[in-house]
Structure 1
Amino acid sequence: MSILSRKEFHDEQAAYDYVEARVWPHGATCPKCGERDRVSKMGGKSTRIGAYKCYKCRKPFTVKVGTIFESSHVPMHIWLQAIYLMCASKKGISSNQLHRTLGVTLKTAWFMSHRIREAMRTEGGAFGVGGGSVEIDETFIGKEPGVTKTKTARGGAHKMKVLTLVDRDTRTAKSVVIDDLRVDTMAKAVAENMSREARMITDEYRQYKHMAKDVAAQHEFVRHSAGEYVRQDDPEIHTNTVEGFYSVFKRGMKGVYQHCQKQHLHRYAAEFDFRYNNRAAKEISDTVRADIALTGIVGKRLTYQTIGA
């Protein structure tokens, strides 16, 4: 039987029950005052599905309040379908495809996908704790706003820039959108996401050499310009892991999403980070990945004006 045949993908009450079980593992909790004991489910034929009342602050609420679902008129079971489809699509799923598959308008599909990406987004961590190895590389996507490509311009100066760190020990990735490739800009992004005691592994790009002493305990690199992709004297020195991450990221950005404004790029990057960090290689199924995304919906509310600004 298809996973999308499950009850929570078609029945609204079942969908609310499914989300409540993951957002409120210890029972319904008032999002206004945090009360858990003096809370009860509201009854009556005219009562909306999933409505509760807090008898401490006297406010009614549902599991949508304070999450990416707040103020949305899209049925909860449609939200669950969208989350599952985005979590199960290795290279992403376009708003046009969601619009056609879910039967919502294109504008609604675009809005939903950005809210879901926000649920997938995590704050900076500490890669390379305990002296672990962290691969770092940069890539170029689309076009930098306000920058015109010239005949004398070199490399990706006219493109948007993404810096990605991959921790080999935890097998997780973190991508950061940066404005330029200056040493201080790149060093700041690395320092915010990598432990000072880490071993940094990069290619021979000079910016990494200049920042290494300030952000890492050790710096190793391979010389791609000389045809070296794995250090002969130490097979652990390579950037193949982060480049493998980019192979999926760039296929998705070019083949599925195609056009992305810089103000939204950090959410698209977070989407690919999320799927990579919760991938099948870690024995995480599509269903479990969608459940993990659901745990990130709280406190992530976005308005259309916020996203479209």
Structure 2
Amino acid sequence: MAINKVQFQKGLSLNEFIENYGTEEQCFKVLYKLRWPEGFICPKCGYNKCCQLTQRSLQQCHKCHHQTSITAGTIFESTKLPLTTWFQAFYLISQDKKGISAIELHRHLGISYQSAWRMKQKIMQVMKEREEAKLLSGFIEVDDAYLGGERTGCKRGRGADDKTPFIAAVETTSEGQPVRIKLSILKGFFKEEITVWSRKNVVSGSTVISDGLACFNGVVDAGCKHDKIICGGGRASVEEPEFYWVNTILGNLKSALRSTYHAIRPKYAQRYLAEFQYRFNRRFNLKDFIPRLAYVALRTPALPGKLLRIA
């Protein structure tokens, strides 16, 4: 049997991680280069020369004397945790396809649960904002799905109480191989909602393949082609080959969430979906995952506690 090159790629070993990001100085140099790849640029006046104040790790502009740091205005702003702890979190989150919970981060990193929760939420927010800028194109499998466990005596499936509806979409190649995914929370499965989602997440002219649920006709209003395959519900839809990858993704997602998290509050659900999505879409190169995530983190605005608790 042929070996799946993505599944069996080398990744970043623990020894390599320690070698590259094991000290505060190493992490500082990595962030400095990622924030100013062409050299320092003053955020106030745009001048390109500075001196470093060693005691406080600040850069002071030679022209306007404005002082800044590599973490100012980023998701790291005001953190009291060492940079090495942040990079350790990047490593733990990136190298396990099922993710890691805040309580496990708390245990592995030796920090308080509250600090681990804030760090986890901030990193997931970085992933969420980055993924919002990426669009799907070409052939796209879509399906409706829900977050939330079944309750005895309650309605199941569509219309069930206390469940969070979301759309799962998989961009595939002409050979039927998955490229990218989108997992997006919706207010409900209505045509208008699908139209809005399509305009934000799908390139006009793409072909969207659905199971014929009426709301998916909304993709046509967004300039997409709609290929409806009526297959009924339950096992029949799961076995339909045209929906192989979207069903596989949903199965892997729900397995990962069940095995990693005790519960997910609906207000934070989009961040957890974005984490799974971000990892899947960057599965082709695990070794570059940490610098890529750090690069985006430096370009994500600071998230104070009040906003952190608003999904």
Question: Which consecutive residues of structure 1, in runs of 5 or more, have no partner in the other structure?
Answer: 232-236
Counterpart position of 1:266: 270
Which moves more between the two structures, 98-107 or 165-174?
165-174
Match of 2:300 in 1: 299
Is the CA contact 1:23–1:294 (under 8 Å) kept in the aligned structure 2? no
Preserved CA contact (<8 Å) 2:127 2:278:
yes
TM-score normalized by the length of structure 2: 0.83
**Which has the higher mean CA deviation after the structures are superposed, 240-249 or 100-109?**
240-249
Q: What runs of 5+ residues in structure 2 fail to find an aligned partner?
A: 1-13
**1:5 equivalenced with 2:11 (yes/no):** no
Tell me by how many angstroms 1:91 deviates: 0.8
In the superposition, the TM-score normalised over structure 1's length comes to 0.84
Q: Post-superposition shift, 1:211?
A: 2.4
Structure 1 residues 56, 269: CA separation in 2 closer, same or farther (over 3 Å shift)?
farther
Higher mean C-alpha deviation, range 83-92 or range 298-307: 298-307
Aligned to 2:243: 239
1:77 aligns with 2:79: no
Query: What is the RMSD of the two structures over their aligned residues, measured on CA atoms?
Result: 2.5
CA distance in 2, matches of 1:115, 1:190: 27
Write the letter of the residue equivalent to 1:103. Answer: G
1:17 pairs with 2:29 = yes
Q: Residue 116 of structure 1 aligns with which residue?
A: 123
- The aligned amino acid for 1:167 is E
* Alpha-carbon shift at residue 4 of structure 1 (Å): 3.6
Check conservation: 1:222, 1:238, Cα contact below 8 A: no
Quick one: distance in 2 between partners of 1:94 and 1:202? Answer: 33
Match of 2:205 in 1: 197
CA drift at 1:229: 5.5
Query: What residue number does 1:166 align with?
Result: 170
Separation (CA, whole Å) in 2 of partners of 1:88 and 1:188: 34
- Aligned-residue offset at 1:102: 0.5
Q: CA contact under 8 A between 2:52 and 2:58: conserved in structure 1?
A: yes
Q: Which moved more, 1:247-256 or 1:213-222?
A: 213-222
Residues 123-154 of structure 1 show CA distances to partners (whole Å, capped at 9, x for unaligned) of 244322xxx1011112111279xxx9974565
Specify the SS of the correspondent of 1:227.
helix
Secondary structure class of the residue paired with 1:244: helix
CA distance in 2, matches of 1:228, 1:150: 25
Is contact 2:35-2:70 (8 Å) kept?
A: yes
Say whether 1:157 aligns with 2:170: no
TM-superposed deviation, 1:188: 1.5
**Deviation of 1:175 (Å):** 1.6
SS in 1 for 2:296: coil
Q: Could you report, residue by residue, the CA deviation over 1:200-239 in whole angstroms, capped at 9, with x for unpaired residues?
A: 112232322x3243232242425154836676xxxxx612
State the distance in 1 between where 2:45 and 2:267 align. 34
After superposition, give the CA deviation of every residue in 1:163-187 in whole Å (9 maximum; x if it has no partner). Answer: 1222214811122111212221122
8 Å Cα contact 1:119/1:294 also seen in 2:
no
Pick closer, same or farther for the CA change 1:143–1:59 going to 2, 3 Å.
farther
Aligned length: 287
Change (3 A) 1:152 1:20: closer
Q: Measured at CA, do residues 218 and 15 of structure 1 come closer, stay the same or move farther in structure 2, by a change above 3 Å?
A: same
- Assess if the C-alpha contact under 8 Å between 2:212 and 2:228 holds in 1: no
The residue number in structure 1 matching 2:50 is: 39
* CA 217–61 in structure 1, closer or farther in 2 if over 3 Å, else same: same
For the pair 1:183 / 2:194, whether they are aligned, the reply is no
